[in-house]
Structure 1
């Protein structure tokens, strides 16, 4: 048995919310977690000012049926299978989105990753050395392979925030405390915040910050 590799061109969707105009102050690149579709995830940001905020939500390429009724569809960014190649494909896809959207230089560029999306957001920033205004990590683990050297390009005033639900069932306190120490060494300016919910993105916490 041989496992071979081939390259080919593919097509994927992504979702946007609001309109990018001269009034736009913040452009958000938001990465959903496992089980989401981008068009549903982006609805979580409908409470933000529509004139000042423009949202771009990439769509994870691997889709599957959720449940036994084969009606609801979810998606996943990566698995432990062929991770390196799949990561490269995903990051190239994000490059294509950003190139297409023509994000103006004068806006605040905010990158957010939720759950599994944390790994994609942080890897994309590190590979492309993206000088974002803010990086928001919500209820997700930071990739093990990334180090402080991968983020030396970030300005000291880049706002970096990690948000976790107090009742999140996927994180034990001891592991969270150890992870905070590791991530703080990589991103010294990071701030850790809690919201009263579980493993979810809490829009109210974001509106307070942004």
Structure 2
């Protein structure tokens, strides 16, 4: 039987998590993107190293959810798959736009730092959005994340001379073979901003002590 595919536009609600109430005392907004199979409500806990009185953390979540185990108890989320990839990318960008401008409208101080963090699969999602949205970027941390193959050096013009870009990868990360480390390092050398490649002793995870060290180096306030 032959079949044809058609599309219909719908409007639906999608969540995001925050660590506190956004106030005029906040110094920085953090937008953080989880990896494959994670949920925002769990991922945001990694950022308890930040001083919550001065840092407002916003954890976004992939729009597709699925069961992680055979008992149908654990649930994770994904940003996209190869199936109808371009449609997923478009939906992601619309979702991120809504969350980003929702927070900006609630922020009372225009001089707040805008910081972005992406882990694993969330990295490609964040970079594609940054390329199109062109927001101010004070600090960008890419953790165990590869670069989208279609992006070139010129696509990173959302980074200025005042921006900081940190690329992080564990020396025991089993997914490191999927990341073009040579390409990443070449890119870092050709960007106008301050860049650093950080390697740590560990696997495919966000280690709090490593994250804390990086945050302190970027002059962001922590709880310690």
TM-score tier by shorter-chain length is over 0.9
- Name the SS for the 1:167 alignment partner: coil
Residue 200 of structure 2 corresponds to residue 198 of structure 1: no
Q: Which moved more, 1:189-198 or 1:127-136?
A: 189-198
Dislocated runs of 4+, deviation >6 Å = none
Which consecutive residues of structure 1, in runs of 5 or more, have no partner in the other structure? none
Pairwise CA distance, 1:23: 2.0
Aligned residue number for residue 36 of structure 1: 38
**Taking structure 2 as the reference length, what is the TM-score of the superposition?**
0.87
Summarize the alignment of residues 48-67 of structure 1 with structure 2, pairs less than 5 Å apart: 48-67=50-69
The answer as to whether partners of 2:64 and 2:78 remain within 8 angstroms in 1 is yes
| Equivalent of 1:84 in 76, 83, 86 | 86
Separation in 1, partners of 2:192, 2:111: 26
Q: Evaluate the alpha carbon distance shift between residue 34 and residue 60 of structure 1 in structure 2; reply closer, same or farther with a 3 A threshold.
A: same
Per-residue deviation, 1:35: 0.8
Q: Partner of 2:10: helix, strand, or coil? A: coil
CA contact (8 A) 2:113 2:138 kept: yes
Do structure 1's residue 180 and structure 2's residue 184 form an aligned pair?
A: yes
Q: Secondary structure at the match of 1:55?
A: strand
* Cα distance in 2 between the residues matched to 1:64 and 1:177: 30
User: Superposition pairs for residues 1-210 of structure 1, below 5 Å?
Assistant: 1-101=3-103, 102=105, 103=107, 104-172=109-177, 176-184=180-188, 187=191, 189=193, 190-210=195-215
Q: CA RMSD in A?
A: 1.8
**Mean Cα deviation higher: 62-71 or 188-197:** 188-197
Structure 1 Cα separation of the partners of residues 30 and 65 of structure 2? 23
Which consecutive unaligned segments of at least 5 residues does structure 2 have? 216-224
